[in-house]
Structure 1
Amino acid sequence: MSDRRLNGAATAGAHLDLSSSRAVHGIIDAPVATAPSAASIDPVLEDLLSFHPGWVTRSVTTHDPSGGNDDGYRAGVALEGEHRVLFHARGEGRITRIWMTAPRAELDKPDQELWIEIDGHTVFRGSPHDFFEGRGPWRSPLALGIDASSGAFTSYVPFAWSSEAKVRFRGVPIYYQVTYREGPGAASGPTPEALARFMAEDWTAALPARSHHQGPGPGAPLVLATGPATVSGLDLLIPAGRLKDLRVRIGGQAPVPASFFFGLASTGAEADGGWTPFRSALHAAWAPDASGAGRLATRLPIPLAEGEALSLEIAEGGEIKGIEAAVPLAPARPGVRLLARYSDQEAPGRETTMPFFESDEPLQFVALLEHISGGRLGDRLYLEGDEMIRTDGMSYPLQIGTGTEDYYNGGFYFIGAHSNPFSGQLRFLVLDPEDSWRNARFEHSLYRLHVADPIVSRSGMRFGMEAGPTGAYTPLRVRSLGLSYAFADHRVIGEQKVRARGPRRLARSAVDAERAAPRRRFRLREGRGITRIEVQRPPDARGLLLLRAYSAEKAPQTARVRLDGREVGVIHEMLANPVRPLAEDALWIDMLPGERGGDKRPVLEIDATSSPAPWSEVSYTLRFFSGPPAPQLTQGPAVKIFDAHDLPGGPFYVNDHSILQLPDGRWILTGIFRREPYRSDLEREFVLATAPGPGPERWIEAASPSFSMAPERFAARALADERWIWAPHVARDRDGSLVMVFHVGTHDPDRSGFRMARSRDGIHWAREGGTLFEDICVARDPILVRLGDLWVIYYTRCASRASPRSGVAYRTSPDLARWSPPAMALTLGPETAMPNSGHTESPFVFERKGWFYLTFTSYPVDYDATFVHRSRSPFAFPPRPIARLRAHAAEWVAEGGDFDKGRLFFTHAGAGKGGVFLQELFGL
Structure 2
Amino acid sequence: MLPISRRNLLLGAAGAGTLPFLGDGRAGALASDTAPPPRWVGAGPFDYVYDPSTFDGPRYLNDHTLIKAQGRWHLFSIVGRSAPRGESPDSTRETSLAHASAPSPHGPWTTHADALTVAPSYFGEEHLWAPHVVEAGGRFRMFYAAGGASGAAINLATSSDLFTWTREPSGPLFRGLVARDPMVLRVGGEWVMYYTELSGPGGRHVVACRRSADLVHWSEPGTVFTDATTDTTVSVTESPYVVERDGWYYLFIGPRGGYEGTDVLASRDPFHFDLSGYAGHVAGHAVEAFADGDTWYASAAGWFRGGLHVAPLQWRDTPPPWQSTDNPVASLDAAGRLVVFALDASDRSMLRRVQLDPDTDTWSQWEEFGGPAGAVPTLGRNADGALEVFSLAPQGANLHHRAQRPDGGWYDWEEFGGPAGAAPAVARGADGRLEVFALSPGGASI
Find the counterpart in structure 2 of residue 729 from structure 1.
Answer: 132
Find 1:786's aligned residue among 186, 195, 204. Answer: 186
* Partner of residue 57 from structure 2, selected from 650, 674, 699: 650
Match of 1:690 among 88, 91, 101: 101
Q: CA deviation at 1:722?
A: 1.1
Measure the CA separation in 2 of the matches of 1:808 and 1:907: 20
Q: Is 1:826–2:217 an aligned residue pair? A: no
1:888 aligns with 2:267: no
1:632: how far off?
Answer: 4.0
TM alignment of 1:56-95, pairs within 5 A: none
1:161-181 deviation digits (Å, cap 9, x = unpaired): x979xxxxxxxxxxxxxxxxx
Give 1:657 shift: 0.5
Q: Distance in 1 between matches of 2:250 and 2:154?
A: 23
Partners of 1:886 and 1:795 in 2: how far apart? 21
Residues 745/848 of structure 1: CA separation in 2 closer, same or farther (3 Å cut)? same
**AA in 2 matched with 1:730:** V
For residues 8-23 of structure 1, the aligned pairs below 5 Å read: none
Q: Which residue of 2 aligns with 1:111?
A: none
Structure 2 residue 33 is the aligned partner of structure 1 residue 184: no
Show the counterpart of 1:844: 241
Question: Given the alignment, which residue of 729, 746, 757 partners 2:148?
Answer: 746
Distance 1:726 1:760 in 2: 21
Match of 1:707 among 67, 88, 109: 109
Question: Which residue does 1:810 correspond to in 2?
Answer: 209
Q: How far has the Cα of 1:457 moved from its partner?
A: 6.2
Q: Is 1:638–2:53 an aligned residue pair? A: no
Cα distance in 1 for partners of 2:66, 2:44 equals 19
CA distance in 1, matches of 2:197, 2:25: 19
How big is each residue's C-alpha offset from its partner over 1:793-833, in whole Å with a ceiling of 9 and x where there is no partner?
1100112225x21110000111122211111010011x253
Please show how residues 525-924 of structure 1 align to structure 2 within 5 Å.
628=37, 631-645=39-53, 647-662=54-69, 664-677=70-83, 678-692=89-103, 695-696=104-105, 699=106, 705-710=107-112, 713-720=113-120, 721-733=124-136, 735-747=137-149, 751-769=151-169, 770-776=171-177, 778-801=178-201, 804-829=203-228, 831-835=229-233, 838-858=235-255, 861-880=257-276, 881-896=278-293, 902-924=294-316
SS in 2 for 1:839: coil
| Paired amino acid for 1:676 | S
Aligned pairs for 1:210-609 within 5 A? none
Q: Deviations over 1:98-138 (max 9, x none)?
A: xxxxxxxxxxxxxxxxxxxxxxxxxxxxxxxxxxxxxxxxx
CA distance in 1, matches of 2:28, 2:176: 28
The alignment partner of 1:716 has SS state of strand
- Structure scoring higher RCO (CA < 8 A, sep ≥ 6) equals 2
Cα shift readout 1:705-735 (whole Å, capped 9, x = no counterpart):
421202xx111011112111100000011x1
1:738 shift after superposition: 0.5
Letter of the structure 2 residue corresponding to residue 788 of structure 1: G
Structure 2 counterpart of 1:857, one-letter code: G
Partners of 1:665 and 1:766 in 2: CA distance: 24
Checking the alignment, whether the CA contact within 8 Å between 2:41 and 2:264 is kept in structure 1 is no
Distance 1:773 1:651, change over 3 A: same
The residue that corresponds to 1:306 in the other structure is none
- DSSP-derived class of the 2:148 partner: coil
Residue 910 to residue 163, structure 1, CA distance change in 2 (3 Å):
closer
- Using the size of structure 1 for normalisation, the TM-score is 0.30
Among the aligned pairs, what percent are the same residue?
34
**Contact kept? 1:832, 1:839, Cα under 8 Å:** no
Equivalent residue of 2:92, what SS?
helix
Question: Which residue of 2 is the match for residue 400 of structure 1?
Answer: none
Residue identity opposite 1:183 in structure 2: G
Note if contact 1:794-1:808 (Cα within 8 Å) is conserved in structure 2. Answer: yes
Structure 1 residue 650 displacement after superposition: 1.8
Distance (whole Å) between structure 2 residues aligned to residue 796 and residue 904 of structure 1: 25
Conserved 8 A contact 1:644-1:650: no
Aligned to 1:235: none
Name the aligned partner's letter for residue 93 of structure 2: L
The residue identity in structure 1 corresponding to 2:100 is A
| Counterpart position of 2:332 | none
Number of aligned residues = 283
1:633 Cα offset (Å): 3.7
CA-CA distance at 1:634 after TM superposition: 3.4
1:566-593 Cα distance to aligned partner (Å, 9 max, x none): xxxxxxxxxxxxxxxxxxxxxxxxxxxx
Task: Provide the C-alpha distance between the structure 2 equivalents of 1:634 and 1:715, rounded to a whole number of angstroms.
Answer: 32
How far residue 779 of structure 1 moved from its aligned partner, in angstroms, is 1.6
Cα distance in 2, alignment partners of residues 849 and 789 from structure 1 = 18
Select the structure that is richer in helix. 1
Structure 1 position 871, deviation (Å): 0.3
Cα 1:916–1:457 shift into 2, 3 Å:
closer
1:61-83 deviation line (CA, Å, top 9, x unaligned): xxxxxxxxxxxxxxxxxxxxxxx
Q: Distance in 1 between the 2:297 and 2:33 partners?
A: 33
Query: Where in structure 2 are there 5+ consecutive unaligned residues?
Result: 1-23, 84-88, 317-446
The letter of the residue matching 2:109 is F
- What is the CA–CA distance in structure 2 between the aligned matches of 1:185 and 1:887, rounded to whole Å? 30
Deviations 1:458-503 (A, max 9, x none): 6xxxxxxxxxxxxxxxxxxxxxxxxxxxx8x6xxxxxxxxxxxxxx
Match of 2:443 in 1: none
Q: 1:631 to 1:818 in 2, by over 3 A?
A: closer
2:390 aligns with none
TM-score, normalised with respect to structure 2: 0.60
Aligned-partner SS, 1:681: helix
Counterpart contact for 1:796–1:843, Cα < 8 Å: yes
Q: Cα 1:754–1:634, aligned 2, differ >3 Å: closer, same or farther?
A: closer
Separation of aligned partners in 2, 1:457 and 1:745: 42
Compared CA separation, residues 183 and 634, structure 1 to 2 (3 A)? closer
Counterpart Cα distance in 2 of 1:817 and 1:918 = 32
For residue 640 of structure 1, report the CA deviation from its aligned partner. 1.8
SS of equivalent to 2:236: helix
- The 3 A distance-change label for structure 1 pair 772 and 632 is closer
CA distance in 2, matches of 1:632, 1:821: 33
CA RMSD of superposed structures (Å):
2.2
Structure 1: 5+ residue stretches without partners: 1-161, 165-181, 187-455, 459-486, 490-627, 700-704, 897-901
Q: How far does the alpha carbon of each residue in 1:528-555 deviate from its partner, in whole angstroms, 9 at most, with x for none? A: xxxxxxxxxxxxxxxxxxxxxxxxxxxx
Divergent runs of 4+, >3 A: 630-634
Kindly indicate whether the alpha-carbon contact (under 8 Å) linking 1:644 and 1:652 is maintained by their aligned counterparts in 2.
yes
Once the two structures are superposed, residues 309-352 of structure 1 have per-residue CA deviations (whole angstroms, 9 ceiling, x without a partner) of xxxxxxxxxxxxxxxxxxxxxxxxxxxxxxxxxxxxxxxxxxxx
Q: Distance in 1 between matches of 2:225 and 2:288?
A: 18
Q: Matches of residues 38-187 of structure 1 in structure 2 within 5 Å?
A: 183-186=28-31
Cα distance in 2, alignment partners of residues 782 and 640 from structure 1: 25
Instruction: State the secondary structure of the residue aligned to 1:923.
Output: strand
